[in-house]
């Protein structure tokens, strides 16, 4: 069965960076893109962008341009999302999901807390 397993919770100071991993199994990794969605505490879902696991093409939300980088490692079927220059309003649960248009399989979420 398809599984996406994300790395554990992180606590970061403002200005730091965080890198969240998402290890995929149960399907051919390069056949699907990986999208990232975040959810601030008590808030709705926010699309962050996606990466093609086939050729590495990316598309990022404009508000995150310059601060976010999505990558993949096809040898380990793992996707990564790095967010730099963290601010308090980046505090959220970060989800990876399989697909670039709709998201049928999701990771369990990674809580990133930004606090001084």
Partner 1 sequence: EIVLTQSPDFQSVTPKEKVTITCRASQSIGSSLHWYQQKPDQSPKLLIKYASQSISGVPSRFSGSGSGTDFTLTINSLEAEDAATYYCHQSSSLPFTFGPGTKVDIK
In the complex, minimum distance from the CB of residue 13 to partner 1, in angstroms, rounded to a whole number = 26
State yes or no: residue 1 binds partner 1 (CB under 8 A): no
Choices 10-18, 25-33, 76-84, 97-105 (CB under 8 A): range interacting with partner 1: 97-105
Of 93 and 114, which CB lies nearer to partner 1 in the complex structure? 93
- The correct pick among 54, 58, 67, 106 for binding partner 1 (CB under 8 A) is 106
For residues 35 and 50, the answer to whether their CB atoms sit within 8 Å is yes
State whether residue 54 is helix, strand or coil.
coil
State whether residue 17 is helix, strand or coil.
coil
Q: List phi, psi (to 5°) of 23.
A: -95, 125
Of 10 and 111, which CB lies nearer to partner 1 in the complex structure? 111
For residues 114 and 87, the answer to whether their CB atoms sit within 8 Å is yes
State yes or no: residue 3 binds partner 1 (CB under 8 A): no
Choose among 74, 68, 1: nearest CA to 32: 74
Q: Which positions touch partner 1 (CB under 8 A)?
A: 37, 44-47, 59, 61-62, 95, 100-104, 106-109
């Amino acid at each position: 069965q398809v599984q996406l397993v994300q790395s554990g919770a992180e606590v970061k100071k403002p200005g730091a960076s965080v890198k969240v991993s998402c290890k995929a199994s149960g399907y051919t990794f390069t056949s699907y893109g990986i999208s990232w969605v975040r959810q601030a505490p008590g808030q709705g879902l926010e699309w962050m962008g996606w990466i093609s696991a086939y050729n590495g093409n990316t598309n990022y939300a404009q508000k995150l341009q310059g601060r976010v980088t999505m990558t993949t490692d096809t040898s380990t079927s793992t996707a990564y999302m790095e967010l730099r220059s963290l601010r308090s309003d980046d505090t959220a649960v970060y989800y990876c999901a399989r697909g670039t248009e709709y998201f049928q399989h999701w990771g369990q979420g990674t809580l990133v807390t930004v606090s001084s």
